[in-house]
Amino acid sequence: MSDAPPESSSTPVPGEAERVSPAPPPRGRSIAAVICLVLAALLTTPAAVAYWGQRTLNDAERYVDTVGPLVDSPEVQDVIATKVTDAIQQQVDVEALLNDVFAGVITDAPRLQRLVGPLAAAVNGLIERQVREFIASDEFADFWVRVNTRAQQALHRVLTGDDTGAVSLQDDQVVLDVDEVIDRVKERLVARGLTIVENVPIPETDRQIVLMDAPQLRQARTIYAFSNPIAKWLLPLVGVLYLASLLLARRRPRMAVWIGAVIAANALLLALVLSVGKQLFVNHLAGTAFGPASRVFFDTLLAYLERGQEVVLWLGVIVVLAGLFAGANRYGASLRRTVSGGLENAGAGVPGNGPATAGRWVAANIGWLRVAVVALGAVVLLWGNDVSTTRLWWSLALVLVLLAGLQVVAGAGRSDGSGRAVEPEPAAPSGST
């Protein structure tokens, strides 16, 4: 019995096995994080386009704010002026009217026939000037807002299958009715003495501008009917998927880098989609009266989406940099120690018990306080659905200043009275850390 080893030598110390060989985290959590990231990556670009369409096409106020600047576009003004002028001049044969009016006079003095052409040209020039003056006036700008308010409602009717209103679908063509503009111009001409245009009928075909040939629009109606109810919530769902992938990840800084890279890649994909879509749109309208203004119209209508694409790209870059800063890589760790050490030493130099007491509370709760600061930055960025790169930079500046402030206050709570922050004692190793 004396050769038997002591019993205590083979008895494990409680907790020792856990510290030496911690149980690996369940793989299901990591798999779920990857699934959430993949789903978010696939849905980001469609969600952005769907959200833009839902907000712009369904919201009359946002639609008018979007297309309102078109009234100042020379290309758009020229298209409308040309269409209205041609519609009036084609129905008012000024030269024939002058020949009829001066028939007896011309018979007695044939040389007066030479004046008919210049007089007709002068009258036609008056018509064109009145049209262009009206379209360039503030009166037309107010009229443009009213027309586009109705046009938004008409566009909504087109997508929902109602073919009445200023914008309608006729034989696979999307057309814009300029009937009211013609009537307003005729009133201005009559007021200036050109009464010959007052009762001139304008055929329906001359009162319309073909915006585009759209044989696939009926399919678009089906897609709209299916996607519109979910378009509003698709983008928030993508945000939830990104957040879930971050929370479920075993190595969150690394996941943050992947999330940022996916977001930036989707922004580049969206830029490509917009570029291709613009070219297709311009090509569709190349042979129509609206062709010269098609590029301006596309850029104006999709201004919010293009601006959002820039914000998403920079947001992805910011998330990548944040993940690298918080990660276990050598450069991130070194920069982290330098920044946090400098800020905490600055806080440690603040005298008084008040800052120290507040600092100890902040140091004990700094984790959720950082989350709250980032959430505040997100609220500032998204408030009012008017996202822009300027607002992104202001939100980022706010977040960085508040995070730095938290670190300074936490340093005041770790002061040893010598003006330097005291490093917290390392926690005991644990398998669940």
Residue-level pLDDT, tens digit, the chain, 433 residues: 445 444 444 444 444 444 444 545 567 888 999 999 999 999 999 888 888 877 777 777 777 777 777 777 777 778 778 877 777 777 666 666 666 656 555 555 555 566 666 777 777 777 778 788 887 777 777 877 777 777 676 666 666 655 544 455 555 556 666 666 677 777 777 776 666 666 555 554 455 555 555 555 566 666 666 666 777 788 889 999 999 999 998 888 899 999 999 999 999 999 998 899 888 888 877 776 667 777 887 887 788 888 889 999 999 999 999 999 888 888 888 888 888 888 888 877 776 666 777 878 888 888 888 889 999 998 888 887 678 889 999 999 999 999 998 888 888 877 654 445 455 444 444 333 3
* Alpha-carbon separation of residue 112 from 117, 121, 122, 332 (angstroms): 10, 15, 16, 91
Same domain, 257 and 373: yes
Q: Is residue 171 in a domain? A: yes
Quick one: 261 and 383 in the same domain? yes
Strand ranges in 114-264 using DSSP code E only, listed in sequence order: 167-170, 173-177, 208-213
| 296: CB partners within 8 A, 6+ apart | 70, 73, 75, 76
Residues 159 and 252 in one domain: no
151 plus 182 within the same structural domain: yes
- Does residue 295 fall inside a structural domain? yes
Phi, psi at residue 191, to the nearest 5°? -65, -25
- Same domain for 92 and 38: no
Q: Helix, strand or coil for residue 175?
A: strand
* Residue 306 forms part of a structural domain: yes
Query: Would 134 be classed as within a structural domain?
Result: yes
Residues 137 and 193 in one domain: yes
Query: Are 108 and 245 found together in one domain?
Result: no
| Cα distance from N-terminal residue to C-terminal residue, the chain | 44
Does a structural domain hold residue 433?
no
Whether 332 and 254 share a structural domain: yes
Structurally, how many domains does the chain consist of?
2
Q: Could you tell me which residues come within 8 angstroms of residue 48 by beta carbon, excluding any fewer than 6 positions away?
A: 235, 266, 270, 305, 308, 309, 312
Domain that includes residue 365, residue range: 27-45+232-413
